[in-house]
Homo-oligomer: A and B are copies of this chain.
Amino acid sequence: MAHGTLYGLIGKLMVQPGQREALSEILLDGIAGMPGCLSYVVANDSSDDDALWVTEVWESQEAHRDSLNLESVQKAIAKGKPLIAGFGERFETQPLGGTGL
């Protein structure tokens, strides 16, 4: 598979106690059908009950930036914000390829 310069994010979200399932559902609802999004996986941290990981691959950095203005994403951000306790590690990447893109 050949790609231009893809844009990737790996980030950890700290969740208010007991709210991880609720937050993950909000995220999964909000991200459906985002243009230019090749991969967006929401995952529980296996060793921290109050942490989620989000790994993203976008066709370009612009596609990611534009997604933040989508109504569905704005709604998810507004709904999810009170459940977020903070932000953990965040890594920016340039995806090269692989399975599932």
Instruction: Name A residues whose Cβ lies closer than 8 Å to a Cβ of B.
Output: 6, 8, 10, 12, 24, 28, 31-32, 34, 37-47, 53, 55, 57, 89, 91-101
Per the bound structure, the CA–CA distance linking A86 and B33 in Å amounts to 37
Per DSSP, chain A at the interface is strand
For A95, the chain B residues whose CB sits under 8 A away are 41-44
Q: How far is the CB of A65 from chain B (nearest CB, A)?
A: 15
**B8 and A43 form a contact (CB under 8 A):** yes
**B94 and A40 form a contact (CB under 8 A):** no
Per the bound structure, the CA–CA distance linking A41 and B40 in Å amounts to 12
For A89, the chain B residues whose CB sits under 8 A away are 89
A-B contact pairs, 12 of them (CB 8 A): A6-B43, A10-B55, A31-B98, A32-B99, A38-B99, A39-B100, A40-B98, A40-B99, A43-B94, A44-B95, A46-B94, A53-B93
